[in-house]
């Protein structure tokens, strides 16, 4: 059978090299049982290739089942493909054969195969490698002899990189890849397809077929056709129904060709803009985190120098800037409250840093920097709690009732904590 005969049999319109090559490969691979992956943009007519392969193969008398993987819910797709036993899940009132069992000795077409869940991908890989599968809710292995043809409009390399699709499954599915060209790559076929659709709709709606002048044909060929053949067919139907004049010029045609970015037409620019915004936000967050990490490292270095050095330490301009930036959210009012609650010693203007290494807090006070900075050296909650209880008792001269009110706990809880921490 020749390519022209295949086109006539399956109603395929066009003479572009890309289309002819796809049909030629389909003819060559049809007599074998090799798995085929058909790729191409949405609306390019990928569903016709598995039909050609099936009807030219030795399986043409077997079942041909087409499955849209993206249209089946994730929770039921295993049952749809591989079947289930009675009671396997809620609502399973009886046993049921899956598509792979029904298509035994035939061909199964998995459209939008990239939408399969990971668990189903593992099951499919086993079928492709061994011809075996297990129904949902069963432990019995079932053999099947089925030819798998899959199709997708996604970039499979990107899907694998994002861990959306298994790489080993892709290799098993795409033993022979067939690429269908987009409509903008078949400019010589656009007018042929338009005339075919115009004739079909004229017969359907019982009206004369619409015709295009030369300028209208040029307008069709210049358009990018993001929806491919499906979009072209839709526009031909619109014109056939709406226009009273059967002769269409370029001006009238342009009213039916959506501009890039309009509603209903995929817009690469808008998508890129959204991605750019996402990257900008992410970069700002990363920059903030890196700046914060750098400031904390500077602060750690400063504290170590203070603890290991002399009591009187001169702060450099950079170190003072770091302190101002890190502790800019501590107001004078907050500092005053901390001082009054006994967290900081109001009377101290210098600190013995060597003796402070054994306590939970270190207070840094500089004559040119009036905010009190508290640097946490211990992250133990018990040590912090013990220190606050001790300071509250010292502040209120051992009066537990006042100390408990200061700490925001009950007197009974305070008594228990004193006993627990062995405080006097």
Considering the domain architecture, whether residues 39 and 148 belong to the same structural domain is answered as yes
Nearest to 64 by CA among 19, 16, 99: 99
pLDDT in tens, 225-258: 999 999 999 999 999 999 999 999 999 999 999 8
CB 204 within 8 A of CB 20: no
CB 403 within 8 A of CB 392: yes
pLDDT > 70 in the chain, percent: 74
Distance, CA of 374 to CA of 80 (rounded, Å): 63
Considering the domain architecture, whether residues 80 and 160 belong to the same structural domain is answered as yes
Distance, CA of 175 to CA of 36 (rounded, Å): 6
Residue 347 pLDDT: 40
Considering the domain architecture, whether residues 148 and 19 belong to the same structural domain is answered as yes
| pLDDT reading at 313 higher than 90 | no
Mean pLDDT of all residues in 129-147: 94
| pLDDT reading at 120 higher than 70 | yes
Between 20 and 397, the higher pLDDT residue: 20
Considering the domain architecture, whether residues 170 and 235 belong to the same structural domain is answered as no
Query: Which CATH number belongs to the domain containing residue 69 in this structure?
Result: 3.40.50.300
Sequence-distant (6+) residues with CB within 8 A of 60 are 54
CB 342 within 8 A of CB 395: yes
Residue 225 phi, psi dihedral angles, 5° rounding:
50, 65
| pLDDT reading at 385 higher than 50 | yes
Number of domains in the chain: 4
Local confidence band at 323 (pLDDT 50, 70, 90 cut-offs): low
pLDDT in tens, 354-376: 444 444 343 434 434 344 444 44
Residue 308 pLDDT: 60
Considering the domain architecture, whether residues 160 and 14 belong to the same structural domain is answered as yes
Mean pLDDT of all residues in 315-323: 61
Mean pLDDT of all residues in 207-222: 94
Structure tokens at 13: 């319109």
| pLDDT reading at 380 higher than 90 | no
Residue 92 pLDDT: 84
Residue 42 pLDDT: 94
Between 400 and 105, the higher pLDDT residue: 105
pLDDT > 90 in the chain, percent: 57
Does residue 265 belong to any structural domain of this protein?
no
Considering the domain architecture, whether residues 133 and 195 belong to the same structural domain is answered as no
Average pLDDT along the chain: 81
CA dihedral 100, 103, 108, 111 (to 10 degrees): -60
Considering the domain architecture, whether residues 51 and 111 belong to the same structural domain is answered as yes
Considering the domain architecture, whether residues 155 and 22 belong to the same structural domain is answered as yes
Range from 252-256, 272-276, 400-404 that averages highest in pLDDT: 252-256
Residue 321 pLDDT: 65
Residue 234 pLDDT: 96
Choose the final residue of a domain: 120, 153, 181: 181
Considering the domain architecture, whether residues 49 and 171 belong to the same structural domain is answered as yes
Mean pLDDT of all residues in 20-41: 96
pLDDT in tens, 158-207: 999 999 999 999 999 999 999 999 999 999 999 999 999 999 999 999 99
Considering the domain architecture, whether residues 129 and 61 belong to the same structural domain is answered as yes
Residue 164 pLDDT: 94
Residue 368 pLDDT: 41
| pLDDT reading at 147 higher than 50 | yes
Sequence-distant (6+) residues with CB within 8 A of 30 are 52, 53, 54, 56, 57
Choose the final residue of a domain: 181, 200, 228: 181
Assign 3-class secondary structure to the chain.
Answer: CCHHHHHHHHCCCCCCHHHHHHHHHHHHHCCCCCCEEEECCCCCCCCHHHHHHHHCCCCCCCCEEEEEHHHCCCCCHHHHHHCECCCCCCCCCCCECCHHHHCCCCEEEEECHHHCCHHHHHHHHHHHHHCEEECECCCCEEECCCEEEEEECCCHHHHHHCCCCCHHHHHHHCCEEEECCCHHHCHHHHHHHHHHHHHHHHHHHCCCCCEECHHHHHHHHHCCCCCHHHHHHHHHHHHHHHCCCCEECHHHHHCCCCCCCCCCCCCHHHHHHHHHHHHHHHHHHHHHHHHHHHHHHHHHHHHHHHHHCCCCCCCCHHHHHHHHHHCCCCCHHHHHHHHHCCCCCCCCCCCCHHHHCCCCEEEEEECCEEEEEEEECCCCHHHHHHHHHHHHHHHCCCCHHHHHHHHCCCHHHHHHHHHHHCCC
| pLDDT reading at 69 higher than 50 | yes
Does residue 277 belong to any structural domain of this protein?
no
CB 362 within 8 A of CB 405: no
Does residue 268 belong to any structural domain of this protein?
no
Structure tokens at 50: 């598995």
Does residue 19 belong to any structural domain of this protein?
yes
Domain span holding position 394:
381-421
Query: Which CATH number belongs to the domain containing residue 248 in this structure?
Result: 1.10.8.60
pTM of the entire predicted model: 0.60
pLDDT in tens, 327-358: 554 445 544 444 444 444 434 433 443 444 44
């Amino acid at each position: 059978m020749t390519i022209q005969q295949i086109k006539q049999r399956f109603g395929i319109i066009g003479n572009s090299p890309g289309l002819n090559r796809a049909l030629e490969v389909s003819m060559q691979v049809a007599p074998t049982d090799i798995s085929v992956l058909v790729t191409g943009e949405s609306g390019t007519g990928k569903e016709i290739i598995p039909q050609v392969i099936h009807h030219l193969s030795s399986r043409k008398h077997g079942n041909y089942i087409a499955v849209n993987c993206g249209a089946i819910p994730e929770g039921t797709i295993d049952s749809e493909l591989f079947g289930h036993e009675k009671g396997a899940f809620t609502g399973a009132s009886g046993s049921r054969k899956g598509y792979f069992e029904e298509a035994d000795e035939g061909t199964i077409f998995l459209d939008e195969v990239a939408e399969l869940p990971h668990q189903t991908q593992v099951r499919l890989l086993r079928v492709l490698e061994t011809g075996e599968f297990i129904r949902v809710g069963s432990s019995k292995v079932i053999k099947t002899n089925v030819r798998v043809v899959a199709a997708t409009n996604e970039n499979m390399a990107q899907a694998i990189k994002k861990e959306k699709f298994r790489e080993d499954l892709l290799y098993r599915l795409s033993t022979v890849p067939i690429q269908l060209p987009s409509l903008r790559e078949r400019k010589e076929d656009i007018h042929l397809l338009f005339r075919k659709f115009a004739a079909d709709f004229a017969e359907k709606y019982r009206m004369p077929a619409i015709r295009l002048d030369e300028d209208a044909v040029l307008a069709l060929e210049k358009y990018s056709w993001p929806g491919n053949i499906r979009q072209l067919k839709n526009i031909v139907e619109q014109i056939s129904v709406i226009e009273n004049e059967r002769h269409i010029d370029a001006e009238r045609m342009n009213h039916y060709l959506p501009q890039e970015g309009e509603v209903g037409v995929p817009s690469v620019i808008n998508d890129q803009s959204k991605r750019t915004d996402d990257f900008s936000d992410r970069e700002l967050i990363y920059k903030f985190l890196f700046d914060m990490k750098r400031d904390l490292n500077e602060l750690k270095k400063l504290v170590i120098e203070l603890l290991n050095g002399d009591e009187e330490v001169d702060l450099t301009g950079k170190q003072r800037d770091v302190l101002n930036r890190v502790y800019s959210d501590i107001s004078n009012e907050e500092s005053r409250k901390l001082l009054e609650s006994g967290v900081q010693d109001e009377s101290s203007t210098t600190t013995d840093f060597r003796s402070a290494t054994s306590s939970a807090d270190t207070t840094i006070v500089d004559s040119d920097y009036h905010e009190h900075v508290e640097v946490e050296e211990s992250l133990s909650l018990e040590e912090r709690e013990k220190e606050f209880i001790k300071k509250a008792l010292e502040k209120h001269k051992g009066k537990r009732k006042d100390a408990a009110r200061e700490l925001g706990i009950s007197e009974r809880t305070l008594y228990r904590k004193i006993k627990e921490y062995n405080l006097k």
